[in-house]
Structure 1
Amino acid sequence: MPNNSKDRRFLVIGLDGATFDIIKPMLKEGRLPTFQKLMNEGAWGELRSTTLPVTPPAWASFMTGKNPGKHGAFGFYSHKDGSYDTELATGLTIRAKKIWDYFDPSKKIGLIDIPLTFPPEKINGCMISGMPVPSEQSIFTYPPELHTEIISEIGDYMIDRHLMERSRSNPVESLKQLYSYTRMRKEAAEYLIKTKGPFDFFMVVFRGTDFIQHAAFKFLDDEYSSSHIEETKKFRDVIFQMYEKMDGYLAALIELAGEDTTVVLMSDHGGGPLRKRFHLNRWMKKEGFLVLKGNSPMRLTIRHKKISELLDKVRLSFLKAFLPEWIKSVSIPLPHSYMLSPVDLVDWQKTRAYANLIWSDGVIRINLEGREPKGIVDESRCEELKEHIIEKLKKVKDPDSGLEVIAAAHKREEIYSGPFVQEAPDILLLTRNQEYAFTSSLLGDEIFETPQDPTPANHRMNGIFLIKGPDIKKGLNLPVKDIVDVAPTILYLMGNSVPEDMDGKVIKDAIEQDFQEKHPVTYVKEDEYDRHKSDKVQFSDEEIDKIQEGLRNLGYMG
């Protein structure tokens, strides 16, 4: 056991989307011995996510110990200044120090697959970036040659984009790839610990728990399973099997890390079944807040295609060998239809408010004059309009159950603080039990829809938190903590002062009183940090399409 808290080593394991709703029934059946051991020998409880409970802001809030208003990541997308368009959130979206930035420069760090850590950072150690890695050709490791080294050692390293691409086309068949994807993270972690360690701080995130829940929660739903009996018989246990697999991975990594290492097991949010979709923009349209142009959303144009390109497209490339070069280069005019972008469908001169047009996390923006390109709402009327929208939303009821749908509607200033609040959406919504998912759909009149796609699952506010190690109380069930509390707790236990600007608090009730008396919490004023957006990551149109399709497959876009 280290005799100085500054010598303490940490192993942090993230299970994206993990929930006690799955874990506790499995504990009763004795199926998760490593989870049980951690709970018996440490402190544990639920971990409240960010509002909204979405992967990027949640992990960013863990990394910084701060609410999104202080780090700038509010969702999978960031709103472009002076535009109705959005851009993918990346590691550069986070404009606050991360937990490892506070460590002494001599501390050795290992990081694997933490969301919103692309592009990779130069650290004292090694790093494999998490989403949104656009392709295997990207530099997503530090040092850059680590990618080749990992491939040489474990054979392959699938990025999550490819896994998400498969999940909607055939989520059942993607289970095999999901297990391989998860195993690759475990093997990469083992390799780094064995060959690059010892690490003072090592963290790996397994996103397979979230992916499997998005794909398979439907099999735990009585209504779905009763009408899909054979499919359910075959796949009802796949979520439990993933948790069992993770239990074994936890045991292996904890053993490798060593007896005196403090272990943290956590998730960014929980998960549960999705009952219905709420088409928020259609509701905005019905209530007169959003107006569409009257013309057709479809357009027809002419595109010219070379004969050689057409042969490739219809898989007759072999015929090119029999054609003269001049014929292969001949262009043929072909009709091509396309749909206008969501931005072009909206009549902005008549629209007062709108939900996000790309991603669908339950947020609303006011079409504010001077901020939006074609804003019409005067700033003096903005608060009144927000109140009016919130009042109307709170009265929305599910037509089948008669129950109110919106559990909470917040103005951004009510839940966020910091230099980036002005970048946040104006209104943020949570549905009852998070059993409804929002969509960004503009076309159509139906407000509610029972999902027919293969990914009927949604996030929940409460994830998991377990901590075990020297000076940690044993067998203690903690009250609910916030995800921002984890970073200051780790900093404190590693002998660091806690930055005054962190929103999180040290989880003192998990720590032995004797240790706290010998090592009282100290605070430090944070150094000035460059809060300007760094150079943006450049994604190709194809990469953006692929990433968006992956998010759509998990139900984040619609």
Structure 2
Amino acid sequence: MSRRVIVVGLDSAPPELLFGRMLEHMPNLRAMVEAGLHGPLRSCDPPITVPAWQVMSTSASPGRLGLYGFRHRKGHSYAEAWTPNSYSVRLPRIWDVLARHGKRSCLIGVPPAYPPKPLKGWSVSCFLTPPNAERYTHPADLRREIEGLVGEYLFDVKFRVEDRETLREKLFEMTEKRFDVVRHLATTKPWDFFMLVEIGVDRLGHAFWKFFDPGHPRYVPNNPYERVADEYYRLIDRRLGELLELLDDAVFLVVSDHGSKAMRGAFCINEWLIERGYLKLDQAPEGAVALDGASVDWDNTRAWGWGGYYARIFLNLEGREPRGVIPGGRYEEAREELAEELRTIKRPDGERMRVAVFRPEELYPAALGNPPDLMVYFDDLDWRSAGTVGHGGLYLSENDTGPDDSVHSMDGIFVLYDPTRRYARRVEGASILDVAPTVLELMGVPAPGGMEGHPVGLLGKQEVPPRSHGNEVRPTKPAQRSV
């Protein structure tokens, strides 16, 4: 039987919080957890907003999508880069498959969604929408409808700032407006599939984690923002409750693209490569600068890295890079030598870091586009990668791109709630690749060939008794893969 399905995406929502201490502040989510299926949702490698939401929407790994983060190297250039947009994804997404079966979709903020592409239904762009964009909806006149409802629509907030008070106000305003639009479209448009992504959950973590988590290395007791996470998640739960009441015929999936946790610091990957003789500068910079702004001696450089939640390492290969120095016949040997050295990196206290080094072709069925030669996670992603140089050391207590309190983690959340059925159980081993096949199964539409995931088991259905409150549930974490 075909059902209407709504996917509520909470960017960066971690199971440790939502199935733990926050559940007491979220009675609607708690009722969904108790009556439905729930558990951790394993993200993709890397666990980054782009590509993760498209991995979820296509059931295809980042390698097949050719998406490895927010920005990508252009060809084999040393400095040029490009940012994914809505036309970067060429594999069919959930809504593309549904359109072939005559079903209509409504999408709000599913990145990358700019510029808006035609679809069978309605869409509103995402946080990647540039300032003052004239067109951010499909169809185009939907913009007037939205602005008539909420005024200026907020796609994102500036979150790497010191002014937390203004940020807090804009964060709550953005999320309230987003859910006003969700409510309006969900109750006025004839949709079969609805999907929204709230980026504010991610921004909350980056801007306020050290204020609400006593385990954060820079936590200060009795600070003015100690309850901000409780307040924000109550807002999310209140708006979720409204949708539950209004859409009592729909199956709900509440999911996140990855988790988040306290940031321990940033490891200066290019400073380390300089120390080890892999990266050569003509002269040391005066203060911290991006590698693009430094004077790099490419004729004597063997490798360099990009910053972010993980390090992307590129080898300067002869015949591939414009001024490559590593002979092509030594590529695999050079890559393995560097990988072994990376695994010896230590923390500031002298203890060895847990460094996971990945080769893209070993992670994915295919590694298309412009993949790095090596992908590196520092200390289970507790440490960011800092790509800037000129710090005079390997470790930073803060992000090198601005104030930031959190990093991404591998496990997001998965909750499936059907108002006509009772599952009342926890699921283990669900993957971000499984969401699209699960939606299609619920909607009675066959999944196309090539999807890498499988429907999450929907056995053990019973009629739903009245909602009740239960105990907190704390998920376990699957083992980290490494090369």
Question: TM-score with structure 2 length normalisation?
Answer: 0.89
138-147 or 456-465, larger mean C-alpha shift: 138-147
2:371 counterpart of 1:424: yes
Match of 1:251 in 2: 241
2:236 counterpart of 1:289: no
1:466 maps to a residue whose letter is: V
Sort the Cα spacing of 1:113 and 1:340 in 2 relative to 1 into closer, same or farther, 3 A.
closer
Match of 2:473 in 1: none
Sort the Cα spacing of 1:224 and 1:501 in 2 relative to 1 into closer, same or farther, 3 A.
closer
Q: Contact 2:209 / 2:216 at 8 angstroms: preserved in 1?
A: no
Q: Contact 2:64 / 2:368 at 8 angstroms: preserved in 1?
A: yes
Residue among 388, 391, 397 paired with 1:444: 391
Structure number, greater radius of gyration:
1
2:312 maps to a residue whose letter is: V
Task: Tell me how far 1:226 sits from its aligned partner.
Answer: 8.1
Alignment partners' CA distance in 2, 1:436 and 1:226: 14
Q: Contact 1:351 / 1:376 at 8 angstroms: preserved in 2?
A: yes
Unaligned stretches of 5+ in structure 1?
299-337, 515-558
Residue among 396, 404, 417 paired with 2:352: 404
Task: Tell me how far 1:294 sits from its aligned partner.
Answer: 2.5
Q: Contact 2:65 / 2:89 at 8 angstroms: preserved in 1?
A: yes
Alignment partners' CA distance in 2, 1:359 and 1:449: 13
Task: Give the number of the structure whose residues are more often helix, by fraction.
Answer: 1
2:124 counterpart of 1:128: yes
Sort the Cα spacing of 1:396 and 1:464 in 2 relative to 1 into closer, same or farther, 3 A.
same
2:185 maps to a residue whose letter is: L
The superposition leaves residues 122-166 of structure 1 with CA deviations (integer Å, 9 ceiling, x where unpaired) of 112110011311123331110111112100112220121xx12x5
Residue among 34, 43, 46 paired with 1:52: 46
1:212 maps to a residue whose letter is: L
2:212 counterpart of 1:220: yes
Tell me how many residue pairs correspond in the alignment. 458
Q: Contact 1:272 / 1:460 at 8 angstroms: preserved in 2?
A: yes
Q: Contact 1:264 / 1:466 at 8 angstroms: preserved in 2?
A: yes
1:494 maps to a residue whose letter is: M
1:361-372 counterparts in 2 under 5 A?
361-372=310-321
Task: Tell me how far 1:33 sits from its aligned partner.
Answer: 0.7
Q: Secondary structure at the match of 2:314?
A: strand
Residue among 86, 91, 95 paired with 2:86: 91
Alignment partners' CA distance in 1, 2:10 and 2:393: 36
Match of 2:303 in 1: 353
Alignment partners' CA distance in 2, 1:70 and 1:267: 21
Task: Tell me how far 1:372 sits from its aligned partner.
Answer: 1.9
Match of 1:176 in 2: 169
Task: Tell me how far 1:506 sits from its aligned partner.
Answer: 1.6
Residue among 172, 184, 187 paired with 1:194: 187
1:417 maps to a residue whose letter is: P
2:385 maps to a residue whose letter is: F
1:68-83 counterparts in 2 under 5 A?
68-83=62-77
Residue among 51, 64, 71 paired with 2:58: 64
Q: Contact 2:345 / 2:355 at 8 angstroms: preserved in 1?
A: no
Task: Tell me how far 1:379 sits from its aligned partner.
Answer: 2.0
Alignment partners' CA distance in 1, 2:126 and 2:285: 40
Alignment partners' CA distance in 2, 1:285 and 1:97: 43
Alignment partners' CA distance in 1, 2:270 and 2:284: 18
1:13-24 counterparts in 2 under 5 A?
13-24=8-19
1:256 maps to a residue whose letter is: L
Q: Contact 2:339 / 2:357 at 8 angstroms: preserved in 1?
A: yes
Match of 1:504 in 2: 453
Q: Any runs of at least 4 consecutive aligned residues in structure 1 with deviations exceeding 6 A, and if so which?
A: 223-227, 338-341
Q: Contact 1:471 / 1:511 at 8 angstroms: preserved in 2?
A: no
Task: Tell me how far 1:353 sits from its aligned partner.
Answer: 1.0
Q: Contact 1:218 / 1:455 at 8 angstroms: preserved in 2?
A: no
Alignment partners' CA distance in 2, 1:70 and 1:265: 25
Task: Tell me how far 1:472 sits from its aligned partner.
Answer: 5.9
Q: Secondary structure at the match of 1:397?
A: coil
Task: Tell me how far 1:470 sits from its aligned partner.
Answer: 6.6
Alignment partners' CA distance in 1, 2:87 and 2:320: 23
Question: TM-score with structure 1 length normalisation?
Answer: 0.78
Sort the Cα spacing of 1:80 and 1:491 in 2 relative to 1 into closer, same or farther, 3 A.
same
The superposition leaves residues 49-95 of structure 1 with CA deviations (integer Å, 9 ceiling, x where unpaired) of 11111110111101110101111211000210131221112122222
Task: Tell me how far 1:192 sits from its aligned partner.
Answer: 0.9
Unaligned stretches of 5+ in structure 2?
463-483
1:381-396 counterparts in 2 under 5 A?
381-396=330-345
Cα RMSD (Å) of the superposition?
Answer: 2.4
Aligned-pair identity in percent equals 30
Sort the Cα spacing of 1:82 and 1:143 in 2 relative to 1 into closer, same or farther, 3 A.
same
Q: Secondary structure at the match of 2:164?
A: coil
Q: Secondary structure at the match of 2:161?
A: helix
Task: Tell me how far 1:225 sits from its aligned partner.
Answer: 8.4
Match of 2:230 in 1: 240
